[in-house]
């Protein structure tokens, strides 16, 4: 299979976002994952208003003036996908989401590819059974792998990014490729440190790259 089509995958959600009162309804978007969607910048500071879930909300409201939108952050700092999957139904599906975003790959390097694949599949399939649309996120970057002796070397990040891409293609769902966006910035002459507020957390500029990738899935009609 291939990735979903950005122009059509969320077309039903987009149509709901375009409806004026009294035909409209609240559209719920759940952002599930670890410290990045939680809004951690320089730990322990949490800067929710500059993190990509809030930037996604702002971007959607600028695009869809009639919409009533809840962007619900169900992420927990320090968590991996195994922990996120264990609480998925009670903490995510309970919000009756129209769209779910999943962002665990940065922390899943410690979990390993095989376990991560299993738990991502659990969350994807639970979402699809419920009827929610799903957008997977590849990992943002960090500087841990630049340090000799760290257990999570640079090669682990692209491996998990590629696994996320493969899952998105297999299930025919959405992909917000944060990893590719960071790599394009670096290939254009930027430094990864320009995008980080901490060793493993993006700053506002890094979160803006992620939000732009997500907003591609909500085309204005």
Note the pLDDT of residue 149: 45
Note the pLDDT of residue 106: 95
Note the pLDDT of residue 86: 98
Residue 178: name the closest of 106, 85, 72, 80 by CA: 106
Note the pLDDT of residue 27: 98
> Could you name the CATH architecture of 11-215?
3-Layer(aba) Sandwich (3.40)
Domain boundaries, the chain: 11-215
pLDDT digit string (tens) for 14-64? 999 999 999 999 999 999 999 999 999 999 999 999 999 999 999 999 999
Q: Is residue 147 exposed (0-12), middle (13-18) or buried (19+ Cβ within 10 Å)?
A: exposed
The β-bridge partners of 46 are 40
pLDDT digit string (tens) for 100-157? 999 999 999 999 999 999 999 999 999 999 999 999 999 999 986 544 444 445 678 9
Q: Is the full-model pTM beyond 0.85?
A: yes
Task: Compute how many other C-beta atoms are within 10 angstroms of the C-beta atom of residue 185.
Answer: 18
Residue 179: name the closest of 199, 151, 155 by CA: 155
């Amino acid at each position: 299979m291939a990735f979903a089509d950005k122009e059509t995958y969320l077309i039903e959600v987009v149509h709901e976002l375009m409806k004026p009162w009294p035909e409209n309804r609240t559209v719920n978007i759940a952002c599930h994952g670890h410290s990045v969607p939680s809004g951690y910048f320089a730990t322990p500071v949490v800067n929710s208003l500059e993190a990509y879930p809030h930037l996604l909300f702002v971007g959607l409201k600028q695009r869809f003036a009639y919409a009533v939108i809840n962007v619900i952050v169900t992420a927990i700092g320090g968590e991996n996908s195994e922990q996120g999957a264990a609480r998925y139904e009670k903490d995510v599906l309970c919000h009756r989401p129209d769209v779910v975003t999943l962002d665990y790959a940065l922390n899943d390097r410690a979990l390993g590819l095989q376990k991560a694949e299993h738990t991502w599949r659990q969350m994807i399939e639970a979402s699809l059974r419920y009827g929610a649309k799903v957008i997977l996120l590849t990992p943002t970057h960090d500087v841990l792998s630049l340090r000799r002796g760290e257990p999570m070397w640079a090669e682990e990040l692209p491996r998990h990014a590629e696994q996320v891409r493969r899952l998105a293609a297999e299930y025919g769902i959405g992909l917000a490729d944060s990893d590719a966006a960071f790599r394009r910035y670096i290939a254009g002459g930027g430094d990864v440190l320009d995008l980080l507020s901490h060793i493993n957390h993006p700053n506002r500029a890094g979160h803006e790259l992620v939000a732009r990738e997500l907003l591609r899935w909500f085309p204005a009609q």
